């Protein structure tokens, strides 16, 4: 039997699990990504707030795939897809396929506001998390010497898990670390401000979780501004929809995502949220041999008429199911429809402060915080990285401190 050629574009949770589920006796696989490593997005905020090293949550694809000789990794940007020729065109060459799988995920959505896009910090990659860490730490140094109000404000836009977790992490940094690092300086003027356009934060969670997380943030000293949007930001001043102006040189935008689309795919399959409409087997509508999985895919079911939530569990399960369905297709066996089983959602705000919602119970506080840590630790790929993160977390727990506050900057750039 001739092996089927499968190209997977994107090595996030969906693409990586799919690639590892395709056996060598049936498939030749090409995994294409614009970076050379898998990125563990749920812990980006810990890199941005100097709690973890980037290498703890980033895993080189070539290391992951060392023993899977039928999978070839290609570092490159996909320029377009030619469905008629079954070809993917990249800046590192062209590749043909029998089956194409799009797992490109999402990027930050600025809703057409170019000024915000130019001046805001975002956190959709390990590199961007490092950039946030560098800028926040550098501006803390500037705050000490220049004493301008704009250096003393950290503004986060978006009350989802990313915004909430970052706000809590920076608030704990202000409380526990800055007095030690800067014993001769008063950081009481430093404000952590979280802005959300709706009345509540963590809108995908239950009211109890929303109220608990709000309480935790307020206890940490985070200033919550709800029912308010950001109209503009020029790098120094934030204009809110209320008309209020905030001096700020640290604005982190976490207020929405939009799909990473590819040139050449049937535009009729693209939704308003820039996701590809797929059937219950993750096949892109009106395409014969093109599939989409993870955040970029929108599958409507009875349970999820508006599509599945853009969560890691959905991406992982779609990748695993599509692997089994491609095997069944090659073996001329019936495929199974994808059905998501909701395993729950969670978010952490700070030490002993978290909210967890499982299908059978909702809880918050100490236990939720430990459950959050345990489950995220178990999802980390390598034993070495699990150990390193556990050691870091243990040290942080005992000392309320760490030694990862390093500023990396190009010495040639003033």
Instruction: Look up the CATH architecture of domain 114-255.
Output: 3-Layer(bba) Sandwich (3.50)
pLDDT higher at 35 or 143: 35
CA distance 155 to 121: 10
Q: State yes or no: pLDDT of 414 exceeds 60.
A: no
Q: Where are the domains of the chain?
A: 4-108+257-330, 114-255
User: If pLDDT is split at 50, 70 and 90, which confidence band does 74 have?
Assistant: very high
Place of tokens 């308003």: 272
* pLDDT of amino acid 150: 74
CA distance 58 to 11: 12
Please give the average per-residue pLDDT across 64-91, as a whole number. 96
Please give the average per-residue pLDDT across 378-386, as a whole number. 86
CB 195 within 8 A of CB 164: no
The pTM (predicted TM-score) of the whole model is 0.93
Q: Do domains 4-108+257-330 and 114-255 have the same CATH topology?
A: yes
* pLDDT of amino acid 409: 74
Q: State yes or no: pLDDT of 324 exceeds 60.
A: yes
Q: State yes or no: pLDDT of 104 exceeds 80.
A: yes
Q: What is the CATH number of domain 4-108+257-330?
A: 3.50.50.60
How many beta carbons lie within 10 A of that of residue 82, not counting itself?
A: 13
Pick the closest to residue 11 from 34, 38, 46, 30 (CA basis). Answer: 38
CA distance 237 to 255: 18
Give per-residue pLDDT as tens, 225-246: 999 999 999 999 999 999 999 9
Please give the average per-residue pLDDT across 158-182, as a whole number. 94
């Amino acid at each position: 039997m001739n092996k089927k050629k499968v190209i997977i574009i994107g090595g996030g949770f969906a693409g990586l699990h799919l690639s590892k589920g395709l056996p060598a006796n049936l498939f030749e696989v090409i995994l294409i990504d614009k970076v050379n490593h898998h990125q563990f997005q749920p812990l980006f905020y810990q890199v941005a707030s100097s709690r973890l090293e980037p290498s703890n949550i980033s895993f080189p694809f070539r290391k992951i795939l060392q023993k899977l000789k039928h999978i070839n990794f290609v570092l490159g940007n996909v320029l377009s897809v030619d469905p008629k020729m079954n070809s993917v065109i990249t800046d590192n060459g062209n590749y043909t396929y029998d089956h194409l799988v799009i797992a490109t995920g999402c990027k930050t959505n600025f809703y057409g506001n170019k000024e915000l896009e130019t001046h805001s910090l975002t956190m959709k990659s390990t590199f961007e998390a490092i950039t946030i860490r560098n800028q926040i730490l550098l501006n803390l140094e500037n705050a000490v010497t220049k004493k301008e109000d704009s250096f003393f404000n950290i503004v986060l836009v978006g009350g989802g898990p990313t915004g909430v977790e970052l706000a809590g992490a920076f608030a704990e940094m202000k409380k526990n670390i800055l007095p030690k690092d800067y014993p001769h300086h008063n950081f009481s003027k430093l404000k952590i401000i979280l802005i959300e356009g709706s009345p509540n934060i963590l809108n995908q969670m239950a009211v109890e979780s929303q109220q608990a997380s709000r309480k935790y943030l307020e206890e940490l000293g985070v200033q919550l501004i709800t029912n308010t949007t950001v109209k503009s930001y020029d790098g120094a001043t934030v204009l809110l929809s209320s008309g209020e102006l905030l001096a700020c040189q640290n604005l982190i935008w976490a207020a929405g995502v939009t799909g990473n689309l590819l040139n050449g795919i049937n535009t009729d399959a693209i939704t308003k949220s820039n996701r590809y409409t797929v059937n219950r087997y993750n096949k892109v509508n009106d395409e014969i041999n093109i599939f989409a999985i993870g955040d970029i895919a929108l599958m409507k079911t009875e349970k999820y008429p508006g599509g599945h939530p853009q969560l890691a569990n959905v991406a992982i399960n779609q990748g695993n199911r599509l692997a089994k369905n491609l095997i069944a297709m090659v073996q001329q066996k019936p495929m199974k429809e994808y059905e998501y089983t909701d395993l729950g959602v969670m978010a952490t705000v700070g030490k002993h402060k978290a909210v967890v919602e499982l299908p059978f119970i909702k809880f918050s506080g100490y236990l939720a915080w430990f459950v959050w840590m345990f489950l995220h630790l178990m999802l980390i790929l390598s034993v070495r990285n699990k150990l390193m993160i556990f050691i870091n977390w243990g040290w942080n727990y005992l000392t309320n401190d760490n030694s990862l506050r390093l500023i990396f900057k190009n010495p040639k750039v003033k």
